[in-house]
Amino acid sequence: MNKNILQQVDKLVQDDGLHQTYLEGVKLFKTSTYSYRVPLLYDHFCLILVLQGKKIGYLTNTTFHYDTKNYLVIPASLPFECETIASEGKPYICMLISMDKTVMYELITTLEKQENNDGTTTSLALFSDDVTLDIEDITLRLLKILESKEESNILGKQLLRELFYRIAIGENSQFLHKMFLNSNTEAKISRSLKTIHDKYNEHFDIPSLAKKEDMSVSSFHTHFKKITSYTPLQYIKKIRLNKARYLIAIDEYQVNETAFEIGYESSSQFSRDFKSYFGYPPKEAKASFEKYSLI
């Protein structure tokens, strides 16, 4: 990102933390603290534009670098691990943008009618791509209008649409195109991910999930792991544990009621799984969430 972008963001964000802007679905985040590799879950369809600093995401055997030269797109809820590169002298600053599925569907269906994008990319749902000069230009214009509530309300949606178009034509955007075509495997798995995310505390029968999408169990299992890097059962477990951390840290649930709320029958088993995943027991979730839960 160029120096004009940093000058503009300095006008909007002085303190560390997550900051809501005048534009719905757009937030700015700043931290001056380095964070080691910790579990993280983005639970909505979003785009992360890094304005300064760097993050390294780890999804099993795949590593993602998102910095001022590479943005990150998370089309589906994917639990992964993340390291934040930041310091007092060079804080990590990013723009977190919720992506409008209706707008993306309109853009992608129009693009599909015009051309078939058959570039090569990872099969994973989560992907990074290059920050182009066009995206830098839109980012600067977005930051400028965020100074004004009136300009955000009048110009914001059109600027976001322009940005989403640039993301949709990115070199690694093929997953997005497949996700919005209902008959594609990517679309089927994406719907299953949403079901699991929305109903995380229910008992999931894998054959039923597969049947709902008109897939065999073996095909469902294969494509699920290809797209998320997890088996369905591993994914369900990680989603539940991330939800548990939020319930304890934000909603102040007790450990026992949290275990029951996310679908565990044994509180002790829940505590063991929680500590194995996060590295600390459930009772320390609030303090650790406040310290390490970084965008």
CATH of the domain at 126: 2.60.120.280
* 77 lies in the same domain as 145: yes
Give bridge partners of residue 191 from the DSSP assignment: none
Q: What is the SS3 assignment for 29?
A: strand
Q: What is the per-residue pLDDT for 120?
A: 47
- Digit-by-digit pLDDT tens for the chain (295 residues) are 678 999 999 999 999 999 999 999 999 999 999 988 888 888 788 999 999 999 998 988 788 889 999 999 998 888 888 999 999 999 999 999 999 989 998 999 888 766 555 544 457 788 899 999 999 999 999 999 999 999 999 999 999 999 999 999 999 998 888 888 777 888 899 899 989 988 988 888 999 999 999 999 999 999 999 899 899 999 999 999 999 998 998 888 999 999 999 989 899 999 999 999 999 999 888 877 655 554 5
CA 266 to chain centre: 30
Do 241 and 144 lie in one domain? The reply is: no
| 132 and 187 assigned to the same domain | no
Q: Say whether both 173 and 235 belong to one domain.
A: no
Same domain, 174 and 194: no
My answer on whether 74 and 88 are in the same domain is yes
Q: How far apart are CA 115 and CA 202, in angstroms?
A: 41
Give the pLDDT of residue 293: 53
Domain range for residue 265? 182-292
Unique residue bearing structure tokens 């985040």 = 29
Q: Do 186 and 166 reside in the same domain of the chain?
A: no
Identify whether the C-beta of residue 5 lies closer than 8 Å to the C-beta of residue 140.
yes
Let me know how long the chain is.
295
The per-residue pLDDT for 30 is: 95
Concatenate the DSSP letters of all residues of 59-123 into one string. ETTEEEEEETTEEEEE-S-EEEEEEEE--SSS-EEEEEEE--HHHHHHHHHHHHHH--------S
**CATH assignment at residue 245:** 1.10.10.60
pLDDT given for residue 119 in this prediction: 47
Q: Please tell me the predicted confidence (pLDDT) of residue 38.
A: 86
Number of domains comprising the chain = 2
What's the confidence (pLDDT) of residue 132?
96
Residue at a domain's end among 130, 147, 178: 178
Domain limit, last residue, from 178, 195, 218: 178
Output the pTM of the full model: 0.83
Q: Is the same domain home to 53 and 138?
A: yes
CB 57 within 8 A of CB 81: yes
Cα–Cα nearest to 1, from 74, 78, 68: 68
Cβ–Cβ < 8 Å for 57, 80: yes
Beta partners for 94?
29, 50
